[in-house]
Chains A and B, each alone.
Chain A
Amino acid sequence: MDDLDVRHPRQGSAQAHIPPFDPPPEGWPASESFDHVLARARAFDQSALTLLYRRFMPLVYRYVLARVGDIHHAEDLTSEVFFAAIEQMSTTRAQDELGFVAWLLGIARNKVALHFRQQRAHPEGSFTIAEHDRPSSSADDGDPLAIITTRESWDEVVSALNRLTEEQRAVLLYRCILGYATEDVARLMRKRPGTIRALQFRALASLARLLGITPRHDRSGKEGRS
């Protein structure tokens, strides 16, 4: 990649239920290619590390948050991911932005897996998620019903995500939460775009089933859940 691909993952999503993507991080020099920044970061250049951190930290945070479900653990694991990334920076074989994302999220995936293993080993060390530890969304700013719905469904969604197959979960994380385009997800997962679309369909169907979201015609006669 000669020039930095400045397209943000969520670009192109116009549906109301898909949140708008973050603005590009401030301070990224448009004239500087990603591979040049990465090369400088490999030499521990502070400004390059800062650029990479500011660009990818929110991404890692969202990924981890969707897996563990509470802010404190998400912050701790995000910290661990970046410390590990710094220590392994000189060894990454990533050549472009997507390769770097794949590498970084690979570290995140391992940290999350280790976290779950430790939780299983020491269940007494885990805490109940306090109300204020749950992430808020834009819905929290307004409609009280939306606030209740969002918070009540939080644990349920995390639990359901963790019950999907590894591939289904990965597609939903990359596509629906991190907002990458189907073609990019295909590259991240080394699959064809058609395979990703099919996986996405099955993943959302499985998640819907786990969350008890049924087709509209099945809801008639049932007391409104929605």
Chain B
Amino acid sequence: MNPSDELDSILSGRRVTGSTDELLAPLLETNARLAPFAEASPSPSFTDALEARVLAHATHLTNETGFRSELSFDDTGIETRQDYAVAYSAPETRHDSWRDTPSRWRAAAITVAFVVVCLSVFTLVANARMGGPFSQSSSNASAASRARLQMQSASQALTMLDQAVTRQSGNIAYLSALTTLRTDVQAAMTLIDAMPSAADRAGLLTQLRDLEAQARGDLRGALPRLSWSLRAATTLTLGTIGDTVPLISRAQVAQWEDHFWQITLTGANFASGGVLLVNDQPGGTVIALNPMQMVARISAQGFQAPPNYVGIGEPDDTAAEADATLVPAIGATSTPVSGN
């Protein structure tokens, strides 16, 4: 056996000693020097926090791209890290309620899905049978009925969302309802816009505006009970249903002197009293703030590497977060923008 095969056998545990021990000994000793890397484990706090952020990012992408995932009830029985964010809000009750609710949630979801599918199929079949001289009016009626269905589904999603908050059913239930609400409202809006009859359109538009107003009220009511990452997701939805919310178009982080990170957020609708969010937690000191820019600094003590997920938390509990870009270090003489 040649030395490389013998070494591989020993490393694989198929051999303990070999005929070329003298030759392989330093290589095995070298391999042992790599052991700390192989044994290294990330800290549980980092693991948990990153998992929550990764899942929140996936949700954000889903919202941003309009991709509508299936209702993500946890059919594997595994509790995802996002659930811990709600657990953080109500540690005494959340776990029990979570364990109690999946079957009810699933039953409700299946019922809702079944009703929506049946109504959709019924509408499609009815549409298919219509035609000829009635095509224009049937098309109008079809668009109106589909818009009503979308609004009905959005209304049900809003009910589910309210229940998810009240019962602390977990982030997945909340985010699923939030996504459904947003996509259904947008779909209804598209259908209403495409309707040829102004009279029909006006009536449906009024209903949609009422629904959006109710949704805004419910979502804003839910905000104080949510983690900052969920508040950011909720704020995005609020923005899509006509609310005025903070938006971040650019986030930059730079080293400031040796002991601070300076974070500059550029965007819109920043309110006086807003706080810096770093990794979903408030922190740091706001140096300057105006409706379009926040400049804040945070001690490098806890962040030797630059914070890469930052945002603004508003006094009204809305929030916006974004991935930060590292820019060159700033000297002590640099002056941030003036603000209120």
Check if A145 is an interface residue, CB within 8 A of chain B. no
Check if B337 is an interface residue, CB within 8 A of chain A. no
Known A135-B36, A138-B39, A182-B8; contact A86-B25, beta-carbon cutoff 8 A: no
Q: Which of A46, A54, A62, A73 contacts B38 (CB 8 A)?
A: A62
Q: Are A19 and B38 in contact (CB under 8 A)?
A: yes
Instruction: Count contacts on B: residues with CB < 8 A to the other chain.
Output: 68
Known A57-B50, A86-B57, A124-B329; contact A181-B12, beta-carbon cutoff 8 A: yes
A73 nearest in chain B by CB position: B305
Q: Are B26 and A215 in contact (CB under 8 A)?
A: yes
Check if B172 is an interface residue, CB within 8 A of chain A. yes
Contacts of B3 in A (CB 8 A): 201
Q: Are A201 and B7 in contact (CB under 8 A)?
A: yes
Contacts of B76 in A (CB 8 A): 27, 29, 32, 47, 51
B33 nearest in chain A by CB position: A157
In the complex the two chains form, what is the Cα distance from A17 to B38 in whole Å?
Answer: 11
Q: Are A18 and B69 in contact (CB under 8 A)?
A: no
Q: Are A27 and B81 in contact (CB under 8 A)?
A: no
Contacts of B141 in A (CB 8 A): none
Q: Are A51 and B31 in contact (CB under 8 A)?
A: no
Check if A6 is an interface residue, CB within 8 A of chain B. no
Which chain A residues in 26-56 approach chain B with CB under 8 Å?
27, 29, 32, 43-47, 49-51, 53-54
Check if B19 is an interface residue, CB within 8 A of chain A. no
Q: Are A43 and B28 in contact (CB under 8 A)?
A: no
SS of B interface (majority): helix
When each residue 310-340 of chain B gets 1 if its CB lies under 8 Å from chain A and 0 otherwise, what string results? 0000000000000100101100000000000
B13 nearest in chain A by CB position: A14
Q: Are A204 and B58 in contact (CB under 8 A)?
A: no
Check if B42 is an interface residue, CB within 8 A of chain A. yes
Q: Are B34 and A214 in contact (CB under 8 A)?
A: no
Shortest beta-carbon distance, A152 to chain B, in Å?
A: 11
Contacts of A32 in B (CB 8 A): 76
Contacts of B97 in A (CB 8 A): none
Instruction: Count contacts on A: residues with CB < 8 A to the other chain.
Output: 80
Q: Are A135 and B37 in contact (CB under 8 A)?
A: yes
Q: Are A176 and B11 in contact (CB under 8 A)?
A: yes
Q: Are B42 and A61 in contact (CB under 8 A)?
A: yes
Q: Are B308 and A86 in contact (CB under 8 A)?
A: no
Q: Are B42 and A204 in contact (CB under 8 A)?
A: no
Most buried by B among A47, A124, A125: A47
Q: Are B40 and A15 in contact (CB under 8 A)?
A: no
Shortest beta-carbon distance, A79 to chain B, in Å?
A: 5
When each residue 189-226 of chain A gets 1 if its CB lies under 8 Å from chain B and 0 otherwise, what string results? 00000000110110011011001011111000000001
When each residue 236-265 of chain B gets 1 if its CB lies under 8 Å from chain A and 0 otherwise, what string results? 000000000000000000010000000000
Which chain B residues in 110-131 approach chain A with CB under 8 Å?
none
In the complex the two chains form, what is the Cα distance from A64 to B72 in whole Å?
Answer: 31
Residues of B within 8 A of A (CB): 3-5, 7-8, 10-14, 16, 22-23, 25-42, 46-47, 50-51, 53-55, 57-59, 61-62, 67, 69-70, 72, 74-78, 80-82, 172, 175, 255, 303-306, 308-309, 323, 326, 328-329
Given A50-B81, A201-B3, A213-B29, 19 more pairs with CB closer than 8 A: A10-B38, A14-B13, A17-B28, A18-B11, A18-B13, A45-B70, A47-B75, A51-B76, A70-B304, A72-B303, A74-B42, A75-B305, A87-B57, A135-B36, A139-B36, A176-B34, A197-B4, A208-B30, A216-B25
10 pairs of A and B residues whose beta carbons are closest in the complex: A14-B13, A201-B4, A137-B36, A27-B78, A17-B32, A204-B27, A135-B40, A208-B30, A66-B37, A46-B72
